[in-house]
Structure 1
Amino acid sequence: MSRDASRRLFLSMTSLMGAGLVWGETAGAAPPSRGKEKKEKSEPAEVNATEDLMREHGVIRRTLLVYEACASQLGTGSPPRADVLASAANLIRRFAENYHERLEEEQVFPRLEKAGKQGELIRVLREQHAAGRKLTDGILKSATPVALQDAGRRQALASSLQAFVRMYQPHAAREDTELFPAFHALFAEAEFHELGERFEEQEHQILGAGGFESAVAEVAQLETAVGIHDLAAFTAR
């Protein structure tokens, strides 16, 4: 073997031995993940105040789909059951009007008005809250077996359901895209986090322990009762 070849072999062996020593030192230690306690599972991110309001709109919109289905059925020979109609209207009253809208009127509107923002929009939203409550009064009065036997009252009831849907769809859309972003912009993030916690406390005070989740389960039952529970049925063909 030439002198140069011997030198190259010596250097190669030295490098391998050095690498082996380094590997041996590190191999003796436990891998980074071994011997350590598993990290506790992180908590899910909390729902902030505007996200809370917007997901409540989701429950309301699903109830509006129930209203639409009931209005359509009222014009046929197979009207919806009176108890289903009454349950849908009571959900609107309890969840939308007595909780969600009350939260807006007590917590959201006044803060924006004080800041001089969204005044005209808030004026219209307040008027629509009042109009919706009047419609709900009429729907509840007409959601009885006796009333559903009368063709004229069925037609009037269908009109009330359609009017509520026609008003609330743009109402909720404007709040989601204009009112709530303006409301969020009023707060520093830490203060907004605290407000979200207060919203959650109020939710359970008014709606009970189940809160939002109970409302979702309730609207799902109504969807099944009127035959619109299969989301795939809405897929465009």
Structure 2
Amino acid sequence: MSNSSSIDRRHFIIACSTLGSSLLVPQISFAKEDETEEVGPAEDLMREHGGLNRILLIYEEGIRRITAKTNVDLSVVKKSATIVRTFIEEYHEKLEEEFIFPRMRKEKKLVELVDTLETQHKAGRKLTATIEQLSVQSTLKSESETAKLISAINQFIRMYRPHESREDTVLFPTFHKMLSEKEYDMLGEKFEDREHKLFGKEGFDGIVEKIMELEKSYDIYDLTKFTPHI
């Protein structure tokens, strides 16, 4: 075989190898793009707490505007309270009460904490009902009704910040350790199924969109507004 033939053959092999590699690369990247991230039940509940915390910020801004008597649109507070009732109380908390609290009591784990959390759920529902009822413009014409609304919002915020924190740092991690991987995955699927059954295809993402619009109504969507000037 001549030297020129050997060189041509080597060039052909290298070209084929390079072509094969270039064809494989996009296939790998497309496979990665198609992968969906699985969210476990505890992580799902934690991100829902994030949504609730954003509503607590709306509540605080509502109180600030009521106190300052400027640009007070109580429909923003009312819509926020409706999200709390439908998404947090009637969905999120029901999951905890149906799947987490009974298992903790059965295993005799954090029973005192669970009892307190459930009591706070009941108290929160009463406060939400008051907030929804009083979040109308006519409330501002009465000092006593305005004071009652502010009190209900403040009590709700004061209770739910430590409530969420204790669940995220104590309850959920303990609960996660109690379940096998199979049980944990199956529970995550149950949570997801119920979420989409109650809130449609968008589920949690749709709720976040609604919260975002309410934040914009009170001009607190821009995160830079919370940065201190130091």
Q: TM-score, normalised by structure 1?
A: 0.85
Give 1:41 shift: 2.3
Which residue, out of 66, 83, 96, partners 2:58?
66
- Match for residue 31 of structure 2? 41
Distance in 2, matches of 1:61 and 1:171, equals 11
The within-5 A match list for 1:1-237 is 26-27=13-14, 29-31=16-18, 32-36=20-24, 38-39=27-28, 40-42=30-32, 43-78=35-70, 80-237=72-229
Whole-angstrom CA distance in 2 between matches of 1:35 and 1:98: 51
Q: Please, which runs of 5 or more residues in structure 1 have no aligned partner?
A: 1-19
Larger mean Cα displacement after TM superposition, 31-40 or 134-143: 31-40
Distance 2:83 2:23 in 1: 53
Runs of 4+ with deviation above 6 angstroms = none
More displaced stretch, 26-35 vs 46-55: 26-35
**2:62–2:74: 8 Å Cα contact kept in structure 1?**
no
Contact 1:69 1:226 (C-alpha < 8 Å) held by counterparts: yes
> Which position in structure 1 is the counterpart of 2:3?
none
Deviation (angstroms), 1:34 = 3.7
**Mapped partners of 1:35, 1:48: distance in 2:** 35
CA deviations over 1:79-128 (Å, ceiling 9, x no partner) = 62131121011011011101110111011111111111111110110011
User: Quick check: 1:47–1:196 contact (8 Å CA) kept in 2?
Assistant: yes
Change (3 A) 1:225 1:28: closer
Question: CA–CA distance in 2 between the matches of 1:163 and 1:28?
Answer: 72
Return 136-145 or 174-183, whichever deviates more: 136-145
1:25: how far off? 8.0
**Structure with greater proportional helix content:** 2
- Provide the rounded CA distance (Å) in 2 between the counterparts of 1:219 and 1:24: 61
Greater RCO structure (CA 8 Å; 6+ sep): 1
State the shift of 1:146 in Å. 1.6
C-alpha displacement of 1:222: 1.0
Report the CA distance between 1:26 and its aligned residue.
4.8
Check 1:224–1:125 CA distance in 2 against 1; reply closer, same or farther (3 A cut): same
Distance across 2 between alignment mates of 1:25 and 1:129 = 72
Q: CA RMSD in A?
A: 2.2
1:133-183 residue CA offsets vs partner (Å, 9 max, x unmatched):
110111111112222221221122111111100100000000000000011
Q: Decide which structure has the larger Cα Rg and report it.
A: 1
